[in-house]
Amino acid sequence: MPSLRGKAQTVLGPVEPEHLGYTLTHEHLAMDYSCSFSPPSPGQEPLSDGPIEMKNLFWIKQNPYSHKENLLLYQETDAVKEELLRFKAAGGGTIVENTTTGIGRDMNTLKKLAEETGVHIIAGAGFYVDSTHSSQTQAMTVEQLTGIIVDEILKGADGTDIKCGVVGEIGCSWPLTQSEHRVLQATAQAQSQLGCPIIIHPGRHSDAPFQLIRILQEAGADVSKTVMSHLDRTICDTKKLLEFAELGCYLEYDLFGTEFLHYQFHPDTDMPSDNDRITRIRILVDEGYEDRILMAHDVHTKHRLMKYGGHGYSHILKNIVPKMLIRGISQDKIDKILLANPKRWLTFK
Ligand SMILES: CC(=O)NCCS(=O)(=O)O
C-alpha cells in the first residue's frame, strides 16, 4: 500500500496539500444528531414535532436540540450541495467532515458531494461520544478499536472503499467514560502508526481538554498533529486558555455562527458571540499562537443552513474574515489560520 506521507487524504483519494486551499476544519455535511435530542421545557412539546417554519425559527435557534427534524441534517443533501458551491465561489477549497461512527457518517454521500462540487472533502474516522457507542464498541479492546480506525483510513469506512483522512471528531464526555478512554488510546495508536491528523470533541468542562491531551500523550500521540475542538464553549477564562495553548495542540474555534442566550447542553456556560470568538482569537494571535489556531462553523443542524435562514458554510469567509481585519488581525495571520495551519495539520507525517 503506498504511503500517505506528505499527502492529505480526501474522499476522492490522496491530494497534494498545496491544493487544499482555504479550509474549514470542523463541519458536518450529512449527519443524524438525534442522539442529542433535549426534551423541550414543559408546555413547549408541540413545538418539538412540527416542521421548520418562519414562525418557529426563533424558538428553534434558541432551542436547536429540542426540535426533532432540526437534528436530521442528512435529509438536506441538495441544500448542502448548493452551499458547497457557494463556499467554493467565496474562495473555499476544503471541508473536513467530522461525522464519526454513532452520528450517521455517510461516505457515499460525501464522495458524491465532492465529485459534484469540486470541494475537497476529508472524512473522519473513529467514534463519537459514549452514548452512541454500540455494545460491540463498548466491549472492544484498544487494539481492536485501533484496527478499525486504521482500516477506515487505509481501506475505507462503513463497508465502502472510500477512505477517511483524519481521525475524529473523537467524542469525549465529562466525566470521560471508560469506553471513550479506550477510543482515545486507540486514536493515539492509530496516529503513531499512520502519522495522521486527529481531532477531539472535549466534554463540557474547562479541565477536559487538559485531561484529554494528557491521555493522548501517554498513549503515544503526537500533540502537534492534534486539534482540540469547541474551545469556544469549553475554556472561557483567558488565563486558562493561554495555559492550555502552551501544550502545543491546535486550538479550534469552530462554533462560528452559533449565537444564543441559553446553551442547552451546558446552561452554566454563556455561549460566546462571534465577536467574542474574534476577541479570543486576537488574544491568541497577540500571544504568538497564530500557527496553532483553526476556525470552522461545525454546522450540524438544519437551521444553520441558508435554506432555513442560517449563516451557512460561507459565513467565515464572507462575514467573519472582514470583521477580523477590522479588529486588527492581518490578512497574513488570517491566511495562516485558514490556509497554512489546516494544510500542515492535514498532511500525513
Ligand atoms: C456535532 C457536535 O458534536 N457538535 C458540538 C456541539 S457542542 O455544543 O459544542 O458540544
pLDDT one-digit tens code per residue, 254-277: 999 999 999 999 999 999 999 999
State in Å: Cα 204 to ligand 1 middle.
10
Distance CA 198, CA 175 (A): 21
Distance CA 63, CA 52 (A): 12
pLDDT digit string, tens, across residues 16-37: 999 999 999 999 999 999 999 9
Confidence of residue 107 (pLDDT cuts 50, 70, 90): very high
Residues with CB under 6 A from ligand 1: 201, 230, 233, 255, 265, 298, 300
Q: 53: annotated binding-site residue?
A: no
Confidence of residue 3 (pLDDT cuts 50, 70, 90): confident
- Res 92 pLDDT > 90: yes
Three-state SS for the chain is CCCCCCCEEECCEEECHHHCCEEEEEECCCCCCHHHCCCCCCCCHHHHHCCCCHHHHHHHHHCHHHCCHHHCHHHHHHHHHHHHHHHHHCCEEEEEECCCECCCCCHHHHHHHHHHHCCEEEEEECECCHHHCCHHHHHCCHHHHHHHHHHHHHCCCCCCCCCCCEEEEEECCCCCCHHHHHHHHHHHHHHHHHCCCEEEECCCCCCHHHHHHHHHHHCCCCHHHEEECCHHHHCCCHHHHHHHHCCCCEEEECCCCCCCCCCCCCCCCCCCCHHHHHHHHHHHHHCCCCCCEEECCCCCCHHHCHHHCCCCCCHHHHHHHHHHHHCCCCHHHHHHHHHHHHHHHHCCC
What single letter denotes the amino acid at residue 255?
L
pLDDT digit string, tens, across residues 196-214: 999 999 999 999 999 999 9
Residue 1: predicted pLDDT: 66
Are 255 and 271 in contact by the 8 Å Cβ rule? The answer is yes
CA 47 to chain CA centroid, Å, is: 28
Averaged pLDDT for residues 131-158: 98
Three-state SS for 72-131 is CHHHHHHHHHHHHHHHHHCCEEEEEECCCECCCCCHHHHHHHHHHHCCEEEEEECECCHH
Q: Judge whether 274 lies within some domain.
A: yes
Nearest to 298 by CA among 283, 285, 315: 315
Interface predicted TM-score of the whole assembly (ipTM), two decimals: 0.98
Q: Judge whether 59 lies within some domain.
A: no
User: How much is the CA Rg of the chain, to the nearest whole Å?
Assistant: 19
* Ligand 1 atom at shortest distance from the alpha carbon of 254: 9
* Ligand 1 atom at shortest distance from the alpha carbon of 129: 3
Averaged pLDDT for residues 315-333: 98
Cell numbers placing 283:
488574544
Its domain, for residue 111, covers: 25-33+72-346
Q: Give the Cβ contact number of residue 161 at 10 Å.
A: 9
Q: Judge whether 131 lies within some domain.
A: yes
Cell numbers placing 299:
454546522
Residue 267: predicted pLDDT: 95
Number of domains in the chain: 1
Residue 229: predicted pLDDT: 98
State in Å: Cα 229 to ligand 1 middle.
9
Q: Judge whether 118 lies within some domain.
A: yes
State in Å: Cα 280 to ligand 1 middle.
19
* Ligand 1 atom at shortest distance from the alpha carbon of 128: 3
Residue whose CA is closest, atom 9 of ligand 1? 230
Residue 78: predicted pLDDT: 98
Indicate the burial class of 340 (C-beta count within 10 angstroms; 0-12, 13-18, 19 or more). Answer: middle
Are 184 and 178 in contact by the 8 Å Cβ rule? The answer is no
Q: Judge whether 5 lies within some domain.
A: no
State in Å: Cα 300 to ligand 1 middle.
8
What single letter denotes the amino acid at residue 196?
C
State in Å: Cα 306 to ligand 1 middle.
19
Residue whose CA is closest, atom 3 of ligand 1? 201
* Ligand 1 atom at shortest distance from the alpha carbon of 255: 9
| pTM for this entry | 0.98
Q: Judge whether 45 lies within some domain.
A: no
- Res 2 pLDDT > 90: no
Q: 169: annotated binding-site residue?
A: yes
- Res 162 pLDDT > 70: yes
CA 246 to chain CA centroid, Å, is: 22
Q: Give the Cβ contact number of residue 67 at 10 Å.
A: 27
Averaged pLDDT for residues 235-257: 98
Q: Tell me the average pLDDT of the chain.
A: 98
User: CATH code at 80?
Assistant: 3.20.20.140
Q: 297: annotated binding-site residue?
A: no
Mutate-to-test residue for ligand 1 from 101, 199, 230, 254, highest number of ligand atoms within 8 A of CB: 230
Cell numbers placing 148:
478499525
* Ligand 1 atom at shortest distance from the alpha carbon of 99: 1
Q: 266: annotated binding-site residue?
A: no
Q: 201: annotated binding-site residue?
A: yes
Q: 230: annotated binding-site residue?
A: yes
Q: Judge whether 8 lies within some domain.
A: no
Q: Give the Cβ contact number of residue 205 at 10 Å.
A: 18
Confidence of residue 151 (pLDDT cuts 50, 70, 90): very high
pLDDT digit string, tens, across residues 264-317: 999 999 999 999 999 999 999 999 999 999 999 999 999 999 999 999 999 999
Q: Judge whether 291 lies within some domain.
A: yes
State in Å: Cα 6 to ligand 1 middle.
30
What single letter denotes the amino acid at residue 206?
S
